[in-house]
Amino acid sequence: MATPSAAPAFRRSRLVRLLSWPLYLALAAVGLVADPAAGTASASPGPAAAPGTGAVDCDSVPCVALTFDDGPGPYTGELLDLLAAEEVTATFFVVGRSAEESPATVARAAAEGHEVGNHSWAHDDLTEKTGPEVARDLERASLAITGATGRWPDLMRPPYGAVSETSLAHTYYPAILWDVDSRDWTGLDSEAIVESTMEQVRPGSIVLLHDSLAPTVEAAPELIDRLRGQGYHFVGVSEILDNTDLENGTAYRRRP
Ligand code: NI
């Protein structure tokens, strides 16, 4: 799913990181972000487990990445309880504004081994912004996420899955889309969410779900049961994409 814009986007990304360095150091000095050189999240609320370091070999066993968007919200805690009880690893693409309002929930997700990605500051359609506005929006969200987890997010998901050449060129993260749309956002009930997902899933899938929706959280126990019954292992997005060097500004939909 590489795009021609990947290579220049990557070069620009390094430039932006250099430009952002004084801000980063300033935040590190006041303990808002972890010092990457230290290797520990000294000021984080809990030890953020490095995602994608599990022992599952997705070439040998069927893997699936469940992704939950638009939180944190009122149902996120219940979902985290379930994932902990079932020992399921997932990925949360959180809205920066909500992460700033509910940092403890985001911190918990990270501390319990889930991946936490950037889903923009306020869930705007990034294709309606200028390139610099896209970059500023995502940076603002990442600052809120880092304030909660102590870890700068590695991944982003564009709201609505909407991307353009301009938005991707100013997205200094891999852009994670999906190959399985549960269609939970269309108002399906929990049973229909399970059926819709099971009809589409295959080894290596990235599944779009929303922890902001009550029927989705209600569907999660049965969905996990059914997938496990088919032999699936639950991994984060980084792991299903094989922890390869993902390119900034490039969209990914499933395991290659
Ligand atoms: Ni969304």
CA–centroid distance, 211 to ligand 1, in Å, is: 10
Active site residue 210: yes
Separation between Cα atoms, residue 50 and residue 31, nearest integer Å: 19
CA–centroid distance, 126 to ligand 1, in Å, is: 12
Is the pTM higher than 0.75?
A: yes
CA–centroid distance, 74 to ligand 1, in Å, is: 16
Active site residue 225: no
CA–centroid distance, 185 to ligand 1, in Å, is: 9
CA–centroid distance, 70 to ligand 1, in Å, is: 5
Catalytic residue among 114, 119, 170, 210: 210
Catalytic residue among 69, 70, 137, 211: 69
Six-digit token string for 245? 């060097």
What does each of the 256 residues of the chain score in pLDDT, given as a tens digit?
434 343 444 444 444 444 454 444 444 444 444 333 333 333 333 333 444 455 789 999 999 999 999 999 999 999 999 999 999 999 999 999 999 999 999 999 999 999 999 999 999 999 999 999 999 999 999 999 999 999 999 999 999 999 999 999 999 999 999 999 999 999 999 999 999 999 999 999 999 999 999 999 999 999 999 999 999 999 999 999 987 789 999 999 999 9
